[in-house]
Amino acid sequence: MTDQLAPIDAVLRTTAPDMSEELRARLTTALVEREDEMADLFRLAGIQFGLYPWIMAKVFADVGIGTPPTDEGRTLIDAQFVTGMEELRRAWEQGQQG
């Protein structure tokens, strides 16, 4: 098992090698947009059920769902994840002391 999904373009090149470049580009764009929409729905559901948005952002970036973040975006996602986990740890420790 890999840690990240194969890029859509790579899957199309493997499963439909005779597909034209134009069609492959249009289909890749449409499928990435669909993944982005699905990720948005997961984020909304996560908020409704108490999942932390920074955890969801980290998972989507690590797994490779939707539009890949830029290097700057990845750095921000990683920083928010570390900060959020540290806050959760401190809250848990305070709860254990009280």
**pLDDT tens across 39-94, in order?**
999 888 888 888 888 898 999 999 888 888 999 999 999 999 999 999 999 999 99
pLDDT at 45: 87
pLDDT at 80: 95
pLDDT-based confidence at 1, cuts 50/70/90? Answer: very low
pLDDT at 98: 67
Three-class SS of 16-30: CCCCCHHHHHHHHHH
pLDDT of 37 > 50? The answer is yes
pLDDT at 7: 87
- The verdict on pTM exceeding 0.85 is no
